[in-house]
């Protein structure tokens, strides 16, 4: 209910918003006159048709005026299999496409250019499949290891999220397709995702949970954004005036459209007044051919406008945003690009992302790489070695054109090496170790020179059965960090039989390794690395590729060490109040481990190489509140390799408490043996600011700042101090 007095204020704000929108549109992309002319020709009913779905993945068009339906499709790492207009999975269409590595694998490359290439492939394939919007990237902060959808996202650190999503979005949109950054905001768990209410401080919001979305809007010019299922400070994500109107549209100047997550709109007036432009997926009961005019932003809006209960100018503002996106992608007044599908180039990009995203966590006595000329046999053990993952995970599922499994990759890239495979474990939720399978695995390990164990987490196969055998999937969180299906027991038996065991972990993030990590010489984190994942993994194991991935999130030793658990709350009170208090606040990930002196299993930014790097020659100059930092990195080993040099900033004394250090710059450089390069990173004043939620603004305290440079958040090689 809007009080009379505030009505006037709302009018003023709205008029200001419309003007600023037109001004912005005029400046960058002169379609506002054409859009205004179109809006004048549209009837009330036609406008309302445009602000809600017209089928499972489309929204209403107006053929009379040449306004097409907006066609959307999942997902963040590949174009989802075709669904009919009423959701049924269409098993006949030729929709097997390029299954890219998942979000965390892309983030683990720490290579923004590769982010652009990734987005280009996704946009091109979406265009080919006739989609106007691809529903990705998913960039929710990885706050804790149990979130079932972590695999789809990117990082625990907002700076890395920002740098990797900007390239991706530009890549997609340069293909004439709109990206859709999601899920705005604080959708960091799957437990009760449709109903929980997230409470957090303004500092945590501004410093941790917003920067990725702000970068998507202001640096990448993302065309569409998807609001989140959960409530935020008591208001649904799809109805949050603060998030959608005040911050996203007014403060950040977002000109595109806000769509809801599917079935995330709950009230007509709230959605209408508070910035929801396009209602998708509302559940009208699983009827065939549901009547989409029954949506909250359907006929009810027509009636309320006619009754003078809702102002029409807000409808025009929503339609303006939808038309803005259509003009920007050539859907109106242009031609939609046709895109390409399943090309060799797309597959090569997928391979490159996998090669650069797989992380070498441990490599004692340089067990890796394996020399395929001297190693006679390898025991490949583990169900994940021979399992296809692409259709797992929920809405981000992809029917892969093909999928090279680790086993296939090790065979085809192994030359004369004899591969002995043993499944080792079965994928049955709650299933324990199977002695027969263990015996087979031990036998294979005993008769082989080396063992490559491939295990870890796993996706469910299909949308409908993901819950019973998935540990990385939408709508379900992991219960703990324990490796499932009796893998710990299996692995200990295998290592005992053959100490030369390389452990390869697949999945969306950290797993409890404490039972065996000290007993195994080598560990690789392989995520879900796309349709070329098996080849990338094999090339790294055989040394054809030198690994360069770095962890985009901390791996805690055990769940209790993680801040969302230790400081709390995860998943919050999902039985009663449904409130989740983000008491870990700004101390997410390494910010917590540093501040509270907790040793992670593997640190944020950690990743080894088959060569070694030396850092030297740190130089820093300041001009005003900007600093120029340069340093030299040298490849001191025998093989070429890439290093991600990371720059962290530590404020010595601050008015409010701050993390020990924060990532404020990084650069990935390729170096031949003996080669050295100078890296230069500019830090503008944003790199030194924090959000003072007493003054409710970003501030920079004058004083001393330490500049820390190294190959991970816990291997700082250079350290200097500047005064601002």
Closest separation between CB of residue 247 and ligand GLC, Å?
Answer: 21
- Position of tokens 């930092």? 629
Map residue 182 onto helix, strand or coil. strand
Nearer CB in complex with ligand GLC: 135/529: 135
End-to-end CA distance of the chain: 49
Give the 3-state secondary structure of 298-316.
CHHHHHHHHCCCCCHHHHH
Catalytic residue among 261, 277, 472, 594: 261
Neighbouring C-beta atoms of residue 616, cutoff 10 Å:
12
Nearer CB in complex with ligand GLC: 395/487: 395
By CB under 6 A, the residues from 595 to 614 that bind ligand GLC are none
Nearer CB in complex with ligand GLC: 70/716: 70
Which of 35, 53, 135, 502 contacts ligand GLC by CB under 6 A?
135
Nearer CB in complex with ligand GLC: 363/397: 397
Q: Does residue 262 belong to the site contacting ligand GLC (CB under 6 A)?
A: yes
Closest separation between CB of residue 505 and ligand GLC, Å?
Answer: 25
Binding footprint of ligand GLC, residue count (CB under 6 A)? 6
261: annotated active-site residue? yes
Which of 154, 261, 279, 594 contacts ligand GLC by CB under 6 A?
261
Nearer CB in complex with ligand GLC: 236/425: 236
Nearer CB in complex with ligand GLC: 182/203: 182
Nearer CB in complex with ligand GLC: 225/683: 225
Q: Hey, what are 369's tokens?
A: 């790489």
Closest separation between CB of residue 476 and ligand GLC, Å?
Answer: 12
**366 conformational bin, left if phi > 0, alpha if psi -120 to 50, beta if neither:** left
Distances in whole angstroms, Cα of residue 340 to Cα of each of 127, 337, 345? 8, 10, 10
Name which of 184, 94, 193, 96 is nearest 137 in CA terms: 184
Distance CA 264, CA 238 (A): 6
Q: Hey, what are 248's tokens?
A: 């996203």
Question: Binding marks (x or -) toward ligand GLC, 172..191, rule CB under 6 A?
Answer: ----------x---------
Question: Binding marks (x or -) toward ligand GLC, 28..67, rule CB under 6 A?
Answer: ----------------------------------------
Strand order in the sheet with 522-527: 359-363, 522-527, 501-506, 450-456, 377-381, 418-422
Residues contacting residue 544 through CB under 8 Å, at least 6 positions apart: 413, 538
Which of 53, 62, 74, 156 contacts ligand GLC by CB under 6 A?
74
Name which of 107, 98, 187 is nearest 134 in CA terms: 98
Which of 175, 227, 395, 713 contacts ligand GLC by CB under 6 A?
395
Distance CA 202, CA 267 (A): 26
474 neighbors 376 (Cβ within 8 angstroms): no
Nearer CB in complex with ligand GLC: 261/662: 261
Q: Does residue 192 belong to the site contacting ligand GLC (CB under 6 A)?
A: no
Q: Is the dihedral of CA 139, 142, 145, 146 positive or negative?
A: negative
Question: Binding marks (x or -) toward ligand GLC, 274..303, rule CB under 6 A?
Answer: ------------------------------
Closest separation between CB of residue 299 and ligand GLC, Å?
Answer: 24
Q: Does residue 157 belong to the site contacting ligand GLC (CB under 6 A)?
A: no
Distance CA 115, CA 107 (A): 8
Distances in whole angstroms, Cα of residue 391 to Cα of each of 130, 195, 505? 21, 27, 19
Distance CA 320, CA 32 (A): 8
By CB under 6 A, the residues from 620 to 679 that bind ligand GLC are none
Residues contacting residue 657 through CB under 8 Å, at least 6 positions apart: none
Distance CA 602, CA 714 (A): 9
Give backbone dihedrals phi and psi of 501, rounded to 5 degrees, phi first.
Answer: -115, 125
- Which residues contribute to the site for ligand GLC (CB under 6 A)? 74, 135, 182, 261-262, 395
- What positions carry a catalytic annotation? 261
């Amino acid at each position: 209910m809007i009080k009379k007095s505030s009505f006037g204020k709302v009018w003023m704000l709205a008029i200001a918003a419309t003007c600023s929108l037109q001004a912005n549109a005029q400046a960058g992309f002169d379609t506002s006159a054409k859009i205004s002319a179109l809006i004048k020709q549209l009837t009330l009913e036609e406008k309302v048709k445009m602000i809600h779905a017209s089928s499972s993945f489309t929204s209403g068009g107006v053929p009379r005026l040449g306004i097409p339906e907006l066609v959307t499709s999942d997902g963040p790492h590949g174009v989802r299999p075709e669904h009919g207009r009423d959701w049924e999975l269409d098993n006949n269409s030729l929709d097997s496409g390029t299954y890219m590595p998942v979000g965390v694998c892309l983030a683990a490359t720490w290579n923004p250019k590769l982010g652009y290439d990734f987005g280009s492939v996704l946009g091109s394939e979406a265009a080919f499949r006739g989609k106007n919007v691809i529903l990705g990237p998913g960039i929710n902060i990885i706050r804790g290891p149990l979130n079932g959808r972590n695999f789809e996202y990117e990082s625990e650190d907002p700076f890395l999220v920002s740098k990797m999503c900007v390239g991706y979005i530009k890549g997609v949109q340069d293909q004439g397709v709109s990206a859709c950054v999601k899920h705005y905001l604080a959708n960091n768990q799957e437990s009760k995702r449709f109903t929980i209410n997230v409470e957090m401080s303004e500092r945590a919001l501004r410093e941790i949970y917003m920067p990725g979305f702000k970068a998507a809007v202001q640096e990448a010019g993302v065309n569409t954004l998807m609001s989140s299922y959960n409530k935020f400070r008591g208001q649904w994500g799809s109805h949050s005036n603060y998030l959608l109107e005040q911050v996203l549209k007014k403060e950040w100047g977002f000109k595109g459209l806000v769509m809801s997550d599917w079935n995330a709109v709950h009230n007509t007036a709230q959605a209408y007044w508070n910035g929801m432009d396009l209602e998708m997926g509302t559940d009208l009961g699983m009827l065939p051919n549901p009547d989409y005019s029954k949506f909250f932003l359907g006929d009810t809006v027509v009636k309320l406008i006619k009754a003078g209960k809702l102002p029409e100018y807000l409808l025009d503002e929503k339609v303006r945003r939808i038309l803005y996106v259509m003009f920007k992608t050539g859907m109106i007044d242009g031609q939609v690009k046709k895109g390409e599908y399943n090309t060799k180039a797309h597959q090569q990009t997928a391979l490159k992302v996998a090669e650069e995203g797989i992380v070498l966590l441990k490599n004692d006595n340089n067990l890796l790489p394996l020399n395929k000329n001297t190693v006679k046999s390898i025991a490949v053990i583990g169900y994940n070695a021979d399992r296809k993952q692409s259709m797992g995970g929920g809405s981000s599922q992809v029917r892969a054109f093909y999928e090279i499994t680790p086993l296939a990759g090790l065979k085809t890239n192994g030359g004369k090496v004899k591969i002995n495979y043993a499944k080792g474990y079965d994928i049955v939720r709650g299933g324990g170790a199977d002695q027969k399978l263990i015996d087979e695995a031990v036998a294979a390990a005993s008769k082989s020179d080396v063992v490559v164990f491939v295990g870890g987490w796993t996706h469910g196969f299909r949308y409908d059965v993901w819950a019973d055998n998935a540990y990385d999937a939408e709508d379900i969180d992991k219960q703990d960090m324990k490796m499932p299906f009796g893998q710990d027991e299996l692995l200990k038996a295998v290592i005992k039989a053959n100490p030369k065991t390389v452990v390869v972990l697949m999945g969306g993030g950290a797993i409890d390794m404490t039972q065996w990590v000290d007993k195994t010489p080598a560990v690789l984190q392989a995520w879900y690395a796309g349709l070329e994942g098996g080849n990338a993994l094999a090339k790294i194991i055989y040394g054809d590729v030198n690994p360069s991935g770095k962890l985009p999130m901390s791996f805690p030793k055990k769940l209790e060490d993680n801040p969302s658990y230790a400081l709390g709350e995860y998943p919050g009170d999902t039985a009663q109040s449904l409130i989740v208090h983000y008491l870990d606040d700004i101390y997410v990930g390494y910010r917590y481990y540093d501040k509270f002196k907790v040793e992670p299993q593997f640190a944020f930014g950690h990743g080894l190489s088959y060569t070694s790097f030396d850092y030297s020659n740190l130089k820093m100059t300041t001009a005003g509140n900007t600093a120029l930092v340069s340093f030299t990195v040298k490849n001191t080993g025998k093989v070429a390799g890439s290093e991600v040099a990371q720059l962290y900033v530590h404020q010595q004394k601050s008015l409010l408490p701050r993390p020990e250090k924060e990532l404020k710059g990084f650069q990935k450089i390729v170096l031949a043996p003996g080669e050295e390069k100078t890296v230069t990173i500019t830090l503008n004043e944003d790199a030194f600011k924090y959000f003072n939620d007493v003054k409710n603004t970003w501030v920079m305290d004058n004083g001393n700042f330490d500049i820390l440079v190294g190959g991970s958040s816990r291997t700082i090689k250079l350290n200097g101090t500047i005064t601002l």
